[in-house]
Structure 1
Amino acid sequence: MTAPTAVNPSANPSRPASADAVPPGGAPVGAGRVFSLFLFLGALIGLAASAVLTFDKLRILENPSYIPSCNINPVISCGSVMRTEQAEVFGFPNPLIGLAAFGALAAVGAGLLAGAAYRRWFWLGLQAGTLLGVVFVHWLIDQALYEIGALCPYCMVVWATVVLLFWYTTLHNLRTGVIPAGPRMRVVVREAARYHWALPVLWAAVIALLILNRFWSYWSTLL
């Protein structure tokens, strides 16, 4: 009887499992069912969180005294975050970006589940989009912790979703050859794919420690 192994969302059963599965002659690249389903469901989770944030933001604009349901305590307070300049970086509510981006990702995931395959430029565009999302998310994390001094649970759901989508999209692109990798890099990719869960767990642990440290003066009063 063998021990169960973790499922890797970046795995692509339709192609060799190695990192040197380069698409021949620029042929369209598909994705395995696990990654396709992960992309679709992850996008739906991000879309749902963005929709709730958008609804609460609109309610605040209509009624400045409105208190969102996720206002739990002085630290976990969506309203405190939504009323800041950082919540409208580009002149409109940030959740609208989530509605558009996650909606598009859900469509891509649905297409992959239906058997669609996309050319290399499309996958590189998806890689760039998720990379920009990760950069933006970490800027928002910095602002929430050290400038605003409050956390929004739905925002944290979006943070985690974006990081996971970026990570597994990167693994998929490396494994299928969309992002070229030399011999040494292929070894690294194979090991990263084998322990694909390690980086997300490490990221979550670091963010948790930063939150614990930043708001320790409040958490300590609950002990």
Structure 2
Amino acid sequence: MADAARASSKGLDDGVHDPETDLDELDDDLDDYVDPDPELREPPTQRWRRRTAIEMVLSGAFGLLASFVLSIDALKLAADPKAGLSCNLNHIINCGAVAKTWQAHLLGDFFPNAFLGIAAESVVITIAVAILGGVVFPRWFMLSAQAIYTVGFVFAWWLFAQSYFVIHALCPWCLLITVTTTLVWAGLTRLNVREGAIDIGVGARRFVEHGNDWFVTGAVIVLMFAAIVLRYGSQLIA
């Protein structure tokens, strides 16, 4: 006991745990720890949110335009199945060939998919404009928007796969919708991850905070067009 006392008085470790001393050491360790990204624990700045909101508004606007054009073309074909469309350039770039397939009318012959696009893009533009104005929606709302638009995102890529592998014809307006849907979905996901609605860790927040997801989104779009060129090549302009 005397040896232990002498060791303690000299600041040596005698192998006996002292709760008070251990707590002091833990406090010292916590004081020495510096969070590398403390801003990730806080909501993003409005400036950061505004960048994504602008991208969503622009992408949604182009998607809405494409949906309107496709809706008009669908009405033309309904009135005259032999009607020529402005984007019927050849046997590959041919909106008419795509519009006449069952894939373009999943909800019936008199309800083209483009009508769904008009509704979806109108809603997402409204949300993006509100975010641009500084509105912070509750978590349940953003998760609902994420779930619904994810269905649209998967649907858009399914339609592209059908055109690419099954129909063997491409519609420029449909391709535009695929691109804009991807951009809007990426923007919505970016917001939800950064704001914590989708909580998958600080690493994911750091990834989107630093803008790395923009490169992933761009790579996906580039790969899509690269696949088109590799498959059809000169047939696209023949």
Higher RCO (Cα < 8 Å, 6 or more apart): 1
Specify whether residues 188 and 104 from structure 1 end up closer, same or farther in structure 2 by C-alpha distance, changes over 3 A only. Answer: closer
Indicate the residue corresponding to 1:141 in structure 2. Answer: 160
| 1:191 correspondence with 2:231 | no
CA deviation string 1:139-162 (max 9, x = no partner): 111100111100001111100011
Q: Which residue of the other structure, out of 101, 104, 107, is the alignment partner of 1:90?
A: 107
2:98/2:170 contact within 8 Å kept: yes
Question: Structure 1 length as normaliser, TM-score?
Answer: 0.80
- Which of residues 123, 131, 134 is equivalent to 1:112? 131
Query: Which of 122, 143, 154 is the equivalent residue of 2:141?
Result: 122
Runs of at least 4 residues of structure 1 off by over 3 A? 16-23
Could you tell me which residue of structure 2 aligns to residue 21 of structure 1? Answer: 42
Candidates 57, 60, 72, aligned match of 1:40: 57
Q: How far apart, CA to CA, are the structure 2 residues paired with 1:166 and 1:210?
A: 21
Native 8 Å contact 2:49 2:191 kept in 1:
no
**Larger Rg, first or second structure (1 or 2):** 2
Q: 2:122, 2:43 → 1: CA distance? A: 29
* CA-CA distance at 1:53 after TM superposition: 0.4
> What is the RMSD of the two structures over their aligned residues, measured on CA atoms?
2.5
Aligned partners of 2:193 and 2:204 also within 8 Å: no
Q: Tell me the amino acid that sits aligned with residue 195 of structure 2.
A: T
Match of residue 189 from structure 2: 170
Over the matched positions of the two proteins, sequence identity in percent amounts to: 32
Aligned to 1:215, what secondary structure does the other structure show?
helix
Unaligned runs of 5+ in 1: 1-15, 24-28
- Cα distance in 1, alignment partners of residues 50 and 133 from structure 2: 9
Following superposition, the deviation at residue 198 of structure 1 comes to 1.3
CA distance in 2, matches of 1:93, 1:80: 14
- 1:64 alignment partner AA: P
TM-score using structure 2 length = 0.75
More helix by share: 2
Q: Separation in 1 of the partners of 2:107 and 2:38?
A: 41
Say whether 1:58 aligns with 2:79.
no
- Counterpart residue number, 2:176: 157
AA of the residue aligned to 1:94:
N
Question: Does the 8 Å CA contact 2:194/2:208 hold for their aligned counterparts?
Answer: no
**Displacement of 1:51:** 0.2
Query: What is aligned with 2:20?
Result: none
| One-letter identity of the residue aligned with 1:78 | C
**Structure 1 residues 17 and 71, CA gap change in structure 2 (3 angstroms):** farther
